[in-house]
Amino acid sequence: MKRNILSAIIFLSLSSSITHAQIVDKKNLIEKNAQLEKIADGFGFTEGPAVSRLGDVYFSDQPNNRIIKWSFFTNKTEVFMEDAGRSNGMFMDREGNIIACADENNQLWSIDDKGNKTVLLEAYQGKKLNGPNDLYITPSGTMYITDPLYKREYWTRDAVSEQNGEHLYLLSADRLQFMRVDDKLVKPNGIVGTYDGKTLYVADIGAEKVYKYDIIEDGFLTNREVFINRGSDGMTIDYRGNLYLTGADGVKIYNRKGEEIGHIPIPEKWTANVVFAGPDRKTLFITASEGIYKIRMKVYGTY
């Protein structure tokens, strides 16, 4: 009993310190006097925010197997889709479809504005994928998809990889070519690219590194290098090229040189993902465990 009481005291103390931790903004990226605002809570675990052309956000509530829509103009949420394939990472394509990493059955889905789904991928060379986790779509339409292996309680299959590892994949803009573009990763997770489609960042959460790549002709990757020696869950980027990483310590911001220039503490156990939202893409929208948050920025996102 004493141990339980002590654990509770430690947890409350940590929660309090997280709640009262100060925002760090070394480069004036955050709007003056802006405060972190909790939009809503009570979700199972929030992930995968994808931004519509109007600036609204679709995000996944994975344990409850649904996709939720947050309206920028009303600041309210509503259920967009049930039976959402346990969607994790998501991204909006040029046609306004949600591309979702539906790892319930190792698939990649395209979901239209009515909630109708089309399965785009579920295997590589005839073998099941591990469970697509996150993706990024370049301005030209090329998709990059991370495929780590996370054992899920809801899987009815054996949690054994049919692939020979956990890799990074490319799906061509015409969706006719699907190939591996990096097979030297431990557990790839978050992924994002620059607005010009020339640079890609991939978080290898298993190796505690974020890698940087040059994107060349036909989407192939070259010049892989370690951008920073820390992992991340979801990621986003602003027009200056600053990278926003997530995890146990909220949102950390790094400039193009890999120097930490900002920190937005989030009062949750885990911060899973982040994206720029709103018509002007200046609202930083954050998914974190059971809640979703926002804060106004001076800088804007690029997709």
> What pLDDT does residue 151 have?
84
> What pLDDT does residue 157 have?
73
Question: Phi first, then psi: what are they for 229, rounded to 5°?
Answer: -90, 70
For 103-124, give the DSSP string.
GGGTEEEEE-TTS-EEEEESEE
Q: pLDDT band for position 160 (50/70/90)?
A: confident
CB atoms within 10 A of CB 106: 23
Whether the predicted pLDDT of 138 surpasses 90: yes
First to last CA, the chain: 51
For 55: left if phi > 0, alpha if psi spans -120 to 50, otherwise beta; the answer is left
Whether the predicted pLDDT of 14 surpasses 60: no
Question: How far does Cα 16 stand from its chain's mean position?
Answer: 26
> What pLDDT does residue 18 have?
43
* Residues found in the chain: 303
pLDDT in tens, 247-289: 999 999 999 999 999 999 999 999 999 999 999 999 999 999 9
Residue extents of the structural domains in the chain: 24-296
Is residue 233 among the annotated active site residues?
yes
Which one of the listed residues 61, 134, 182, 233 is annotated catalytic?
233
Has 183 been labeled as part of a binding site? no
> What pLDDT does residue 21 have?
77
Q: pLDDT band for position 172 (50/70/90)?
A: very high
Whether the predicted pLDDT of 20 surpasses 60: no
Task: For residues 268 and 262, give the distance between their C-alpha atoms in angstroms, rounded to a whole number.
Answer: 18
pLDDT in tens, 61-92: 999 999 999 999 999 999 999 999 999 999 99
For the chain, give the DSSP string.
-HHHHHHHHHHHHHHHHHHTPPPEETT--BPTT---EEEE---S-EEEEEE-TTS-EEEEEGGGTEEEEE-TTT--EEEEEES-TTEEEEEE-TTSPEEEEEGGGTEEEEE-TTS-EEEEESEETTEE-S---EEEE-TTS-EEEEE-----TT--S-S--SSSS-EEEEE-TTS--EEEEE---SSEEEEEE-TTS-EEEEEETTTTEEEEEEE-GGG-EEEEEEEESS--SSEEEBTT--EEEEETTEEEEE-TTS-EEEEE--SSS---EEEEESTTS-EEEEEETTEEEEEEBSS-B--
pLDDT in tens, 49-63: 999 999 999 999 999
Has 64 been labeled as part of a binding site? no
Q: pLDDT band for position 11 (50/70/90)?
A: very low
CATH of domain 24-296: 2.120.10.30
Residue 57 pairs with which residues in a beta bridge? 51, 70
Among the residue ranges 10-14, 31-35, 231-235, the one predicted with the least confidence is 10-14
Whether the predicted pLDDT of 15 surpasses 60: no
Residue type, 184: K
Residue type, 224: R
> Average pLDDT for residues 102-120, to the nearest whole number?
95
Has 260 been labeled as part of a binding site? no
